[in-house]
Amino acid sequence: MAQYVKTNSVLPITNTGSGDTKINTDAFAPGIVKEFTYNGKLYGVPANFATLSLYYNKTLFKNAGIANPPTTVAEMKQDAKKLTTGGKYGIALADNNTIQMWPILQWLEGGDIVNSKNCSVLQTTEGQKSLTDWTNLVVKDKVSPVGLTGAEADSLFSAGKAAMEMNGPWAAPGYKSAGVDFGIVKIPTGVDGKSATLGSVAPLSISAKTKHPKEAQEFLAFWTGKTTQKKFSLQTGFPPVRTDLVDDAELKANQTVAVFQSQTADSRMYLPQVPSATKVDSDAYVPLIGNITRGKSLASETATAAKTINSLTGCQQ
């Protein structure tokens, strides 16, 4: 989005306000308006919005003698370890070519990637601590294969070879087709007693070359309106982009929608408004997770990642 704005490829969106013919930005999920705002102007609205939830294999849980899915990150770690047996993995953790899963684990453990000044906090005591337990579970306890892509993690869960996976609503139809007896629950609460999950959003913007800017804004109001969002959500399993549909009876009755929608308030964007975020991900964070899960020094690798991040973001300590 930032690149489109810098190259004057998109138009600012001004048809905001309340009512059916306006874009109700106040009703959008947390962080979305900020993510699409540059220099005080809005340049995008959500085409869709999704949170990640915890999928679990009911059969594998039953076989392991675990009655219920985890509700805390401590239980999640214990379950992942107990479920790793007989050629099965406790959890499928993808770390490349995927929507990010590891930041959720960090948030649950009290850590993060950058601070408000876009400076790395991976190398801090809290940052390293937030990666320690899960790194050890992968390296020492083999709770997940190393180096999984998103597609590989999905395939592992679909084949009944992984007991848990953090994923979005798009995964549910495939798991059903594969015949997996699964459940979906909120991401467990973290060390602070609060849940946190990743919010994923794709933008809709208006081309600067359009001959119909007024009609484009009318469409964006239609697309993000209550009626359209409810219909889209019921047909796809995605939560609506709006928070004012949380009490809708039909949406609450849809199990998939209800779980993902219930986490909207707990969702956080990945590297929001961070300069060069794409390269921070590809050049620093993905290599970091890949290296530490292969047994390399956590202290050394977080220090290296921090140096790369700060050079990319222009961090001023």
Spatial distance between the Cα atoms of 281 and 181, rounded to a whole number of angstroms? 34
Residues 133 and 277 reside in one and the same domain: yes
Which residues in 92-196 belong to E strands, given as ranges? 94-96, 148-149, 164-167, 182-185
Q: 131 and 31, same structural domain?
A: no
Q: Tens digit of pLDDT for each residue in 179-225?
A: 999 999 999 999 999 999 999 999 999 999 999 999 999 999 999 99
pLDDT tens readout for residues 146-156: 999 999 999 99
For residue 265, is pLDDT > 90?
no
In this structure, the answer to whether residues 147 and 205 fall within a common structural domain is no
Same-domain status, 141 and 214 = no
**Section 64-88 average pLDDT:** 97
**Which domain covers residue 300, as residue numbers?**
53-197+272-313
10 and 29 in a single domain? The answer is yes
Same domain, 77 and 33: no
> Which CATH number covers residue 242?
3.40.190.10
225 with 285, same domain: the answer is no
Q: Which residue has the tokens 């409810």?
A: 230
Q: Residues 172, 61: one domain?
A: yes
How many domains is the chain partitioned into structurally?
A: 2
**Within this chain, do residues 171 and 243 fall inside the same structural domain, yes or no?**
no
Helix residue spans in 94-248 (DSSP H):
102-108, 125-139, 150-158, 172-177, 213-223, 226-236
Q: Which residue has the tokens 């809005």?
A: 42
